Structure formats: structure tokens, C-alpha cells
Amino acid sequence: GTGTLSGSKSYMQYVGGKVPLGLKKMGLRIVVTGGAGFVGSHLVDRLIERGDHVIVVDNFFTGKKENLLHHFGNPNFELIRHDVVEPILLEVDQIYHLACPASPVHYKYNPTNVVGTLNMLGLAKRVGARFLLTSTSEVYGDPLQHPQVETYWGNVNPIGVRSCYDEGKRTAETLTMDYHRSANLEVRIARIFNTYGPRMCIDDGRVVSNFVAQALRKEPMTVYGNGKQTRSFQYVSDLVEGLMRLMEGDHVGPFNLGNPGEFTMLELAKVVQDTIDRNAEIEFRPNTEDDPHKRKPDITRAKELLGWEPKISLRDGLPLMVTDFRNRIFGDQ
Ligand code: NAD
Ligand code: UDP
Ligand code: UDP
């Protein structure tokens, strides 16, 4: 655009929200914040494959250029090193907002969820883009309802060690709905449950990446607490399909996007043993504070309104991730 910060209009506004048929083939202009990360880079792959023009905005806090190297040189792809806590001017049709320090090890240090989300909403408002927020199952806290339905308001400790993530995402949801109501912004909200797959950070402390890396390195798998707490693990390609259906669909949400297959951490350790090394050992460690006891999505809403459900079970998805981890941990040995 050629306008000023407040004055410029998006292409979508100029054409009255309708893309002329001939131009649709050229694809949409899409921003993916956090696109150099685990989920974001898989989403970028799908969008590029579909023929869209993708701009990744990422400060490489946990993301890596390596996740996107295969798109360098493609004229439909741009990578901008930028912290979304600072304002940015772009002209686009859709924004997938994934930027977030996503692991407990990192998320304490950054106001991305609040200030970054506000900036991306401001950007979406200025150019009339559709905005999708990747929220999290953590908004349910240590849930008193099982499985979790989108209408459940959650049980979150506002002053605990995890709260800057939980409450940060809850605030991000609030901001998103406020912009939707007051500025008439088109928004979408996904509540993502634990997701795993290739390109996951190896050492960011999440349970699937920890167990897989430990088993490969012949170190004991560290089970926190008694290992009876549960999580439901979704393979990354299922999530990406859900995010795209949500963006393209007619419903704001929030939508739970997760795999309802529920496992205790001890059961997960068993699946990792079966996949990598039957003799892999387990070592118990004290659990972290405020660790949710149970988590499992009710995905009825996504099934009915998005026609979406996960296709890949933990036992089928884990080997795909193990191949990637093996390559990254052992290089070309
Ligand atoms: P990730 O850490 O791999 O990706 C996050 C990306 O955001 C990274 O590339 C990081 O560099 C970037 N980033 C962080 N702060 C930024 C900032 N201030 N400015 C610009 N970029 C910034 O994590 P992921 O697993 O791919 O998560 C993606 C999104 O999905 C996050 O919003 C996360 O909260 C959400 N989510 C993920 C899971 C999961 O299990 N993976 C579960 C629930 C929600
Ligand atoms: N913003 C941005 N890019 C834009 C438009 C806005 O980064 O293209 C930021 C802007 O700097 C502000 C935030 O988004 O901090 C919210 O913008 P909005 O216009 O909604 O609020 P206002 O600036 O009126 O308080
Ligand atoms: N966990 C574990 N061993 C590890 C890392 C995590 O037993 O090495 C447990 C953790 O206590 C929690 C569960 O695995 O109960 C999921 O933790 P993660 O950080 O992966 O995700 P989240 O708690 O955000 O769902």
C-alpha cells in the first residue's frame, strides 16, 4: 500500500472483500508470525504448496531458519526477522498469529502474548485482514471438567509459575474477541492441544521431545511426578489441516484442535520404548508446580463445523518424528 499507517487500505478492502476469479489463482498474501517455529514451518509448507504468497515474521527466539531453508529463493516466500512486540506495517489478506515463546523454559521472559497479539490485531484491523489466533488448551488450566469442551471457562491460577502463558493466551483470546466485536474484524480462535512431530525443538523441555531425545541418546526418560497425569498428543499435520480449515471456514470459534487419544506419561514412555528402544530406562523427577492432572479435547465442535478430525495416532506419528530427531541428534553419522 501507499497510504499512511491509518489511511492505507488493503487489497481486500479495495475489491470489497471479494477476490476476482482470475486473481484468486495467484494466491492470497498471508503472514505467519512464528513461522520459523515447529508448527509455523509446517503451516508455511502447506500454504506455499497451495500457491499462496507467505510472509514469515519471526524473531528466532525458539524458531530456526533451518525450518524454512527449502523455501529460500522462492518468490512466493519472504522471511522477516522481527519481534512482534514492535509494530510492523504489511499489506496482507490473512494473518496466522503463532508467535509465542511456547515452552515453559522460554515463555516466562516475553510479553509476546499480550503486546504481540495487540500489534497483529492492529495490523489486521488496518488492512482488513482475517486474523487467526493460536491459543492453547492451557486456557483450561488444571481442568475440573473432562474432557474439555470449548464452553468450559477453565481453572487457571492467575499468579502461578505457568500463568504468564495461560493468562497471556487468555488475554490474547480476549483481545481477539474485542477487536472482532468493536472493529468488526474477522477472527478465528484455535485452542491447540499438545502437538508433536518433526522440527520440534529438541531441548525445549516438552515431554514428547524430551522422551524421544533421551531414548535416542541412551539417557533415562525423565518422568515428572508419578507419571499418571495425562495428555492427548496430536501429530502436527493434523493440526495444520485444522488451522487451515478454521481460517477458511465461517466460524470464529474457539475450536479445540487436538487428538482425543489420551495417555499417561508412563504410557507415553512405553510407546517411546516400543518405538525406539525397549530397554530405555525411566527416571522419576519431582513434578513442576500447577501441572494439569488431565487433559483431553472434546472435538465435537470442530468435527461438526469444520469437518475436521485427526487422522494420525501416536503410534503412527511418533516414528515420523523419531526419524527427524535421529538425523538432527546424530547428524550424518
Ligand atoms: P515454537 O516455539 O516452535 O514456535 C513459536 C515461534 O514464535 C518461534 O519460531 C519463535 O521464534 C517465534 N516467536 C516467539 N516470540 C516471538 C516474538 N516476540 N516475535 C516474533 N516471533 C516470535 O512453538 P510451536 O509449538 O510451533 O507453537 C506455535 C503456536 O502454537 C504458539 O502460539 C503456541 O502457543 C501454540 N501452541 C502450541 C502447542 C504445541 O503443543 N506445540 C500447544 C498449544 C498451543
Ligand atoms: N499496529 C501495527 N501495524 C499496523 C497497525 C497497527 O503494528 O499496521 C499496532 C499499533 O502500533 C498499535 C497496535 O497495533 O500498537 C494496535 O493498533 P490499533 O490501531 O488497534 O490501536 P491504536 O493504535 O489505535 O491504539
Ligand atoms: N513431563 C514429564 N517429563 C518431562 C517433561 C514433561 O513427565 O521430561 C510431564 C509434565 O510434568 C506434564 C506433561 O509431561 O505433566 C506434559 O508436559 P509438557 O511440558 O510437554 O506440556 P504441557 O504441560 O504444556 O501440557
Residue 324 has pLDDT above 90, yes or no: yes
Q: What percent of the chain has pLDDT over 70?
A: 89
C-beta neighbour count of 77 within 10 angstroms: 19
Q: What is the pLDDT of residues 204-219, one digit of tens each?
A: 899 999 999 999 999 9
In this model, does residue 107 exceed pLDDT 60? no
pLDDT at 110 over 70: no
pLDDT above 70 (res 203)? yes
57 phi/psi in degrees, rounded to 5: -115, 115
Which ligand has the minimum distance to the alpha carbon of residue 193? 1
User: How far is the C-alpha of 325 from the C-alpha of 331, rounded, in Å?
Assistant: 9
- 297 preceded by cis ω (within 30°)? no
Share of the chain above pLDDT 90, in %: 81
Separation of 214 CA from ligand 3 center, angstroms?
Answer: 14
Catalytic residues, by residue number, are 165
3-state SS assignment for residue 299: coil
Ligand 3 atom nearest the C-alpha of 211 is 8
Task: Pick the closest to residue 18 from 128, 120, 123 (CA basis).
Answer: 128
User: CA-to-CA distance for 113 and 313, rounded, in angstroms?
Assistant: 30
The answer, yes or no, to whether the previous bond of 104 is cis (omega within 30 of 0) is no
CB distance 88 to 119 below 8 Å? yes
* CA distances for 259 relative to 40, 123, 253, 300, angstroms: 19, 32, 17, 12
The DSSP string of 153-167 is --B--TTSTTHHHHH
- pLDDT for 11 equals 47
310-319 pLDDT, tens digit each: 999 999 999 9
Cβ proximity of 92 and 78 under 8 Å: no
The atom of ligand 2 lying closest to the CA of 89 is: 8
Q: Considering every ligand atom shown, identify the ligand nearest to the alpha carbon of residue 39 and give its number.
A: 1
**Per-residue pLDDT tens digits for 9-47:** 444 554 455 554 444 556 899 999 999 999 999 999 999
The mean of the pLDDT values for the chain is: 91
| Cell numbers given for 174 | 480476549
**What pLDDT digit, counting tens, does each position of 85-101 carry?**
999 999 999 999 999 98
State the pLDDT at residue 106.
59
pLDDT > 70? residue 8: no
C-alpha cell at 145: 471438567
DSSP element (H, E) containing 134: strand 130-136
Within 6 A (CB) of ligand 3 lie 104, 194, 206-207, 210, 222-224, 229, 231, 265, 287-288, 291
Q: What is the pLDDT of residues 54-81, one digit of tens each?
A: 999 999 999 999 999 999 999 999 999 9
Beta strand spans in 193-316 (E): 195-196, 221-224, 230-232, 234-235, 255-257, 262-264, 282-285
Mean pLDDT of 179-207: 96
Query: Confidence band (pLDDT; 50, 70, 90) for 289?
Result: confident
Q: Which atom of ligand 2 is nearest to the CA of 119?
A: 14
Amino acid at residue number 122:
G
Give the three-state DSSP class for 79.
strand
Q: CA 242, 237, 115, 231: dihedral to nearest 10 degrees?
A: 90
